[in-house]
Amino acid sequence: MDLNELIVFARVVQAGSFIAASKALGIPKSTVSRKVADLEDRLDTRLLQRTTRKLSLTDAGRLFYDHCSRIASEVESAQLAVTSFKETPRGLLRVTCGPNASYLAPIIRDYLQRYPEVRLELVTTTRAVDLVEERFDVGIRAGRLPDSSLIAKSLGLVGWFLVASPAYLKRRGRPRTPADLAKHDVVHFNGSDRVTLHLRCGNEDADVEVSPRLVVSELDMLHPAVLGGLGLALLPAYQCVDDLRAKRLQRVLPGWEPPATPIHLVYPSTRHVSPTVKSFIEHVQQHMTPPPWQIGPLPS
């Protein structure tokens, strides 16, 4: 039996006429009449008595309508459930990003509070993740992006500052030129016994080779090491801007900075982006415009 015929029959009874039912269903009156007629032929039973003024149910039609109305109601509920599911962010969202992305913590917290039906799995890694192969919905990546089929949304640039603690600068003195950095203790992220610092001031570039006193493979280790006075370090703005404003750290060689790092949000190219993915993309973009480390005046 054709389910559409049952639904059309129920709507005709509820609307009281073929014309009113056609308007409610958004289909021509002739289609409504044909489906009801086909249904009666299939059942070999007259369901409606038709006059020029009104419709009335036969005894068989009344019995049949009691069942059809429940079916039509269930179909409508199912459609509403699917529509609601399509429109409401919910379910598991898998996101990957590089390490040391602490700036994302308050953004993700606010997102989960806003959408209580979403569960979020955040995987941090240094390796290149294949979003499609590993079934990730969204990736947040630092640095230049390779050519790919992924859709990319810019989240801005992460600036870097050359910083040191006041105690270290009082003990060792303040560098006046980039060349002076070679005489100082340096704490560095990755590298070997010799590291080249690339700095720029306007149109002038300086490459300074230094021998780090401490090399770490975890960027979060740099922050406490510099605060503890172990030496100079290049820190991302989001890690040190609060300390600079509170004068727990001071900038070294203001104006000389390494190139900023672009941050992008990427996701697989698809025609139908789920409400959960779409809401997360919009939420991150909203909270990264401007990036959180650029809110308010930057320290000199």
CB atoms within 10 A of CB 34: 13
What pLDDT is attached to residue 227?
A: 94
Tally DSSP H helices, then E strands, for the chain.
9, 14
Shared domain for 57 and 121, answered yes or no, is: no
Shared domain for 124 and 194, answered yes or no, is: no
Q: Are 184 and 172 in contact (CB under 8 A)?
A: yes
Shared domain for 131 and 275, answered yes or no, is: yes
Asked whether residue 280 is domain-assigned, the answer is: yes
Rounded Cα distance between 38 and 210, Å, is 87
> What are the Cα distances from residue 57, in Å, to 2, 37, 38, 292?
20, 14, 16, 67
What pLDDT is attached to residue 140?
A: 93
Shared domain for 79 and 223, answered yes or no, is: no
Asked whether residue 127 is domain-assigned, the answer is: yes
Asked whether residue 257 is domain-assigned, the answer is: no
Shared domain for 135 and 280, answered yes or no, is: yes
Domain of residue 50, CATH code: 1.10.10.10
Asked whether residue 9 is domain-assigned, the answer is: yes
Rounded Cα distance between 212 and 237, Å, is 21
Q: Structurally, how many domains does the chain consist of?
A: 3
Asked whether residue 120 is domain-assigned, the answer is: yes
261-267 and 151-158: which strand pairing?
A: antiparallel
Shared domain for 99 and 46, answered yes or no, is: no
Residue numbers in the chain where pLDDT is lower than 50: none
Mean per-residue pLDDT over the chain, rounded: 86
Q: Would residue 82 be called left, alpha or beta, if left means φ above 0 and alpha means ψ between -120 and 50 degrees?
A: alpha
Domain of residue 211, CATH code: 3.40.190.290
What pLDDT is attached to residue 85?
A: 58
- DSSP assignment of 223-242 equals HHHHHTTS-BEEEEHHHHHH
Rounded Cα distance between 228 and 223, Å, is 9
How big is the CA angle at 112 (ends 91 and 136), to the nearest 5 degrees? 50
Domain that holds residue 19: 3-87
What pLDDT is attached to residue 68?
A: 81
Domain of residue 97, CATH code: 3.40.190.10
Shared domain for 165 and 247, answered yes or no, is: yes
187-189 and 250-251: which strand pairing?
A: unpaired
- DSSP helix/strand/coil, 214: strand
pTM: 0.62
Shared domain for 77 and 119, answered yes or no, is: no
Rounded Cα distance between 158 and 296, Å, is 15
Q: Tell me how far apart the terminal alpha carbons of the chain are, to the nearest angstrom.
A: 77
Dihedral sign for Cα 91, 92, 97, 100, please. Answer: positive
Shared domain for 136 and 272, answered yes or no, is: yes
**Which two structure tokens, joined as six digits, stand for 245?**
């404003």
How big is the CA angle at 231 (ends 227 and 232), to the nearest 5 degrees? 90
Asked whether residue 259 is domain-assigned, the answer is: no
